[in-house]
Amino acid sequence: MEPYFWPMLLLILGIVLVFLEVFVPSGGILGLLAGCSVLASIVVAFSDGLVTGTVVLAVAILVVPLVVVSAVKWWPHTPLGKLVLAKRPESEDEVLPDTEEYHREEMIGTTGVAKSDLLPSGDVQIDGRIYDAVSAGMAIGRGEPVKVVAVEIQRLVVRPLVQSETEPVRRNGTDDVLSTPIDSLGIEPFDDPLP
């Protein structure tokens, strides 16, 4: 018999087992058998001679990583890979169903009343319907008027509605909100943390 027969047979068996490990869920058993087979092929090759061992070692070092990389690249296209790895949605429209519940962008700017305390989440009533809502960074008490400022998936993002909001704030004929006193904006001043 040729000196390369058994080492190459064990190496091919190891490569097949490495390939199967990627596609068959075995809990690592096939990978362990593949490693033992490749290692046994190298040991048998070195027992036949230094040249045979070096050739089989070089082939194992080159071929096994190529097989693993190609199997990992091919795996997502197999039935098991498609089952495990869900196709990544390309847009938000692919994730959300096409119902009125999910498309509420037209509600931005509408006003309503908080039906529960929003700390930061709760319920609001707009046009006689109750919606899940999240406050935009502040606590909102039950019964306070609110305005929808954004929509995040199924929830409305709301903030308190101020009385002076219907008219733009003007000072000296300009729209400069930063030069307007805080009292006229309807915002309560902060407590002084340093007495």
| Average pLDDT of the residues of the chain | 79
d(CA 144, CA 124): 10
Confidence (pTM): 0.43
pLDDT digits (tens, 9 = 90+) for 123-166: 999 888 888 899 888 889 999 999 999 888 778 899 998 765 54
Give the pLDDT score at 70: 87
CATH of 100-161, one of 1.10.8.620, 3.40.50.620, 3.40.50.11540, 2.40.50.140: 2.40.50.140
Contacts of 124 (CB under 8 A, 6+ apart): 112, 113, 114, 115, 118, 130, 131, 133, 146, 156, 158
> Cβ–Cβ contacts within 10 Å for residue 7, how many?
26
pLDDT digits (tens, 9 = 90+) for 63-113: 989 988 888 888 788 777 777 776 666 665 555 555 555 556 778 888 899
pLDDT category at 178 given cuts 50, 70, 90 is: low
Name the residue ranges covered by the structural domains of the chain.
5-84, 100-161
